Amino acid sequence: MQKHDPQLLLQHSPILRHDKTTPGVMLDVLLALSPVTIASIWLFGLSAIVVLAACISGAALTEYFFTPTSKRRRILLDGSGLTTGLLLGLTLPPALPAWMAFLGGVVAIGLGKIIWGGLGSNLFNPALVGRAFLLATFPNAMTTWVEPAGSFWNLPSSTLSLPFTLDELDAVSGATPLGLMKFEQQGTPFLELFLGNTAGSLGETSGLLLILGAAYLLLRGDMDWRIPVGILLTAMLFSGALSLVDPTVYPTPLFSVFSGGLLLGALFMATDPVTSPSTPTGAWLFAIGIGVLVILIRVFGGLPEGVMYAILLMNAASPLIERFTQPRVFGYDREDSS
Check: CB of residue 236 under 8 Å from CB of residue 257.
yes
Residue 166 sits in the site that holds other proteins (CB under 8 A): yes
How far apart are CB 115 and other proteins at their closest, in Å? 8
Residue 247 sits in the site that holds other proteins (CB under 8 A): no
* Contacts of residue 271, Cβ cutoff 8 Å, sequence gap at least 6: 217, 223, 224, 227, 228
Site string for other proteins, 53-92 (x = CB under 8 A): ----------------------------------------
Which range of residues in 47-55, 158-166, 185-193, 250-258 is near other proteins by CB under 8 A?
A: 158-166
Site string for other proteins, 110-129 (x = CB under 8 A): -x------------------
CB nearer to other proteins: give 162 or 296.
162
Backbone torsions φ then ψ of 29, nearest 5 degrees? -65, -45
Residue 1 sits in the site that holds other proteins (CB under 8 A): no
Question: How does 166-199 read in b/e, with b if 16+ C-beta sit within 10 Å?
Answer: beebebeebbbbbbbbbeeeeebeeeebbbbbbb
Question: How does 207-235 read in b/e, with b if 16+ C-beta sit within 10 Å?
Answer: bbbbbebbebbbebebbbebbbebbbbbb
How far apart are CB 116 and other proteins at their closest, in Å? 12
CB nearer to other proteins: give 9 or 136.
136
CB nearer to other proteins: give 110 or 282.
110
Among residues 136, 124, 132, the alpha carbon closest in space to that of 317 is found at 124
Rule CB under 8 A: which of 136-155 touch other proteins?
136-141
Which range of residues in 46-54, 117-125, 164-172, 187-195 is near other proteins by CB under 8 A?
A: 164-172
Please identify which residue in 44, 102, 124, 133 interacts with other proteins, judged by CB under 8 A: 133
Among residues 78, 135, 150, 67, the alpha carbon closest in space to that of 101 is found at 135
Check: CB of residue 146 under 8 Å from CB of residue 174.
yes
Please identify which residue in 2, 11, 13, 165 interacts with other proteins, judged by CB under 8 A: 165
Distance, CA of 309 to CA of 324 (rounded, Å): 23
Residues that bind other proteins (CB under 8 A): 97, 111, 133, 136-141, 161-162, 164-167
